[in-house]
């Protein structure tokens, strides 16, 4: 009954791996550092024609792609872990709202940022503009989320959900936590709490260490 995660350290597979760690479900990772080139992307092709991580293969052999779908599905499959409000719960609407906001408005920017030539062509100036503007867009999206969400100890209540894991990872990418704490100070305080969860300390150390730009 082992899950298979196609992923890479510090990537969008990290919240999926963190969720599986909190759930206590056995899983193994097939490492594919997709932003490092065609050969790495090809490793994911058998399960995801987009050649992107994360992809999850369930113990029954079904493949799920799209980080938000995987996280929401895992929370539903493992209610004992209490990693998200169930359908019908009063907190469900905001949970779905923000679980969708992250990939639609923020995570999608990294398809451009990881290879700015995809939109900017070979022009270095166009690429630099793309990098600067996408960083601003990401910071602005975090600020908008901050203006709408009223965190408790965690983003949606007194206990962590998969949304906390998702934001904890995405907020460490460019423009990094340094900027995130400025534009989203209340969510920033929550993220330090997520980073400090005792049951995830070994996991963070192995899969997304708090070093360099990736500080808490």
Contacts 24+ apart (CB under 8 A), 150-159: 150/186, 151/186, 151/187, 151/189, 151/190, 153/190, 153/193, 154/190, 154/193, 154/194, 155/98, 155/187, 155/190, 156/85, 156/91, 156/94, 156/95, 156/98, 157/91, 159/82
- Decide if residue 73 touches ligand GSH (CB under 6 A): no
- Decide if residue 9 touches ligand GSH (CB under 6 A): no
Among 111, 120, 131, 216, indicate the residue that binds ligand GSH (CB under 6 A): 111
Binding residues among 165-204 for ligand GSH as defined by CB under 6 A = none
Question: Residue 75 and residue 70: Cα distance in Å, rounded?
Answer: 9
- Decide if residue 116 touches ligand GSH (CB under 6 A): no
Nearer to ligand GSH, 115 or 132 (CB): 115
Q: Which stretch binds ligand GSH (CB under 6 A): 88-96, 104-112, 123-131, 180-188?
A: 104-112
Q: What is the DSSP letter of 119?
A: H
- Decide if residue 48 touches ligand GSH (CB under 6 A): no
What are the residues binding ligand GSH (CB under 6 A)?
11-12, 34-35, 41, 51-54, 66-67, 103, 107, 110-111, 114
């Amino acid at each position: 009954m082992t899950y298979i995660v196609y992923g890479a350290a510090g990537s969008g597979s990290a919240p999926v791996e963190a969720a599986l760690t909190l759930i206590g479900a056995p899983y193994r990772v097939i490492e594919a550092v997709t932003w490092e080139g065609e050969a790495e992307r090809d490793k994911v092709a058998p399960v995801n024609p987009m050649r992107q991580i994360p992809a999850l293969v369930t113990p029954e052999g079904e493949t799920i792609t799209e980080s938000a779908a995987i996280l929401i599905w895992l929370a539903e499959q493992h209610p004992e872990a209490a990693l998200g409000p169930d359908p019908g719960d009063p907190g469900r609407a905001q949970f779905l709202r923000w679980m969708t906001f992250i990939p639609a408005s923020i995570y999608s920017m990294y398809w451009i940022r990881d290879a700015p030539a995809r939109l900017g062509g070979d022009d270095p100036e166009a690429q630099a503009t793309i990098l600067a503007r996408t960083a601003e867009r990401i910071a602005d999206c975090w600020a908008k989320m901050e203006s709408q969400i009223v965190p408790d100890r965690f983003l949606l209540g007194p206990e962590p959900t998969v949304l906390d894991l998702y934001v904890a990872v995405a907020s460490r990418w460019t423009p990094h936590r340094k900027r995130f704490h400025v534009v989203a100070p209340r969510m920033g305080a929550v993220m330090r709490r997520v980073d400090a969860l005792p049951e995830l300390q070994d996991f963070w150390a192995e899969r997304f260490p708090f070093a360099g730009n990736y500080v808490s």
